[in-house]
Chain A
């Protein structure tokens, strides 16, 4: 773990002429399932990133891809897990019976221990160290007290992913090396700046979701409190990204049209992937242009 970009592992140098690709997968909970379509696009073009950075849901997808799995394999895995709510609940219950009992602590029963949850639900292939990954990968988390970005790039993968996904109110913050870490989206919702110096071509995938309504469109004069709260969080994430784009830009920025999905719509994976198909084509088109321009 490091506070910032010092001592980044160097990406393998590229073959002559092919630019090294840096891939940044952003946070967005269930909307982040759209990343799978993006990974498939890379496979179909026969491109392999030289470095991957992921925030929150982007860290899970990024880590899976960094193990060497293909986009199609990741899609099949997620669909298998999320095909049925009942089956998922049964598997979870089975694991709880096996002795994973600390998912909820008695002290704060309203929130989940993300590390335990991830040990239970993430596939075995992720039960490894960063060093075992085939593509250099970093996960982005936020230091709750210092309010700064923490880049996780070594040690066991699962706690790092759990930290990157520790959304307040849903999961308990994860303590790593004495730092209290929460969801990386709070400091860097689309971490393209983290991979920039390790790549010639940076691809950023923003899955925070567009929820803008046209002015004058039918909307309640006063949004219900819940919508007000989620809308406010959305606005704040977008503001961070907008300000970031004022000083730095990825070469390719893709925003899959997943704004209509809620943060916990994981079981709507088929719909989310269908909605991401145009983004997949857009990425392929833009990548082709960039590669052509690069010669």
Chain B
């Protein structure tokens, strides 16, 4: 775990980046290991799969130079950036989620009382949870209060609700930043930071690899937006399931359009279709379902370590700029092995 590369890839000096990036991409046998920037996407319970990806990094002794996280990705990103091992994070997650009663209690305790008072006349008031209170129950105690206490530089992605724009937080209070990133509207109350009302980063950037552009030699993006939330056999989803899935579908669409403009060096599309955004109790199944993605990440990273290029995602038929729309589906993003 001591692969922090020599100067040039320290993200606190972004100006030094260029030369090292070119060097690593040029595939000349390098005396050092390539630096890794890790983007962990949002997707509710589907994001439990991130744990397996962190395990791969630990096993290969690859410590990311910088991490960005959205929503559930921000929770695991912050924990990993605190210097906790993947094994520890897994154990902590299992403990929190295995006590279903305890987890429910944490949720209930996290109701934000001031908000309750504000919205006292509304019958839906009880649906608003305070993400900060919830986090304080869920995050391992070793996660520091401030970004400054992190071992790995970390960026939490949130949405400024009224300005309708992305906010990348990498300084100051860590817990409120992560809380903002997970604050799914209608379930959680928002988080005020300064004069901004912040909510779930997934509304603007469910897979924040672009936030890390140029920060390291290799950008790794873990996508847990899934492809659907229901079994294909059933012809008609229930109205409720259609509604719940609809925001998930939009997040998937955002990621798809993003990938048409630019791709990370390593893109892992985790197969977590069958899980619902709030099915946190299905941890074991999510992890089992994410196993192939784990192996895929390992293979890609091993290639990179062997100074081979990662199998990059490219768009089919993207030569004439006007035909790029032809890749309407992620299916059309294919793997290319450079000769």
Contacts and interface: CB of A to CB of B under 8 A. Distances in A.
Interface in A103-130: 108, 110-111
A223 B235 CA distance: 36
Interface size class, chain A = 35 or more
A225 B328 contact: no
Interface string A129-171: 0000000000000101111110000000000000000001100
The A interface is mostly helix, strand or loop, or mixed, namely loop
A233 B325 contact: no
A113 to B, nearest CB: 11
B170 to A, nearest CB: 20
Interface stretch (A38-46, A63-71, A212-220, A286-294): A212-220
Interface in B231-259: 232, 235-239, 242-243, 245-247, 249-254, 256-258
A194 B242 contact: no
Given A5-B325, A239-B204, A215 B247 contact: no
Nearest to B202: A236
Interface in A166-184: 168-169, 172-173, 175, 180, 182
A231 B204 CA distance: 12
A5 B326 contact: yes
Contact of A108 (B238, B251, B326): B238
A3 B321 CA distance: 21
Interface string A205-241: 0000001111111010111110011011111111110
B320 to A, nearest CB: 9
Contacts of A147: 227-228, 249, 252-253
B83 interface: no
Interface stretch (B133-141, B188-196, B306-314): B188-196
B328 A5 contact: yes
Contacts of B159: 235
Contacts of B326: 4-5
Interface in B179-209: 184-186, 189-190, 192, 195-197, 199-200, 203-205
A85 interface: no
Contacts of B127: 225
A191 to B, nearest CB: 9
Nearest to A187: B253
Contacts of A101: none
Contacts of B253: 147, 186-188, 240
Interface stretch (A86-94, A242-250, A273-281): A242-250
Nearest to B206: A239
Contact of B199 (A196, A225, A232): A232
Interface of B: 115, 118-119, 122, 124, 127-128, 159-164, 184-186, 189-190, 192, 195-197, 199-200, 203-205, 227-228, 230, 232, 235-239, 242-243, 245-247, 249-254, 256-258, 260-262, 321-326, 328-329, 331
Given A168-B239, A182-B242, 14 more contacts: A4-B328, A144-B230, A146-B329, A173-B237, A214-B163, A215-B163, A225-B186, A228-B161, A229-B186, A232-B199, A233-B246, A239-B203, A239-B250, A243-B254
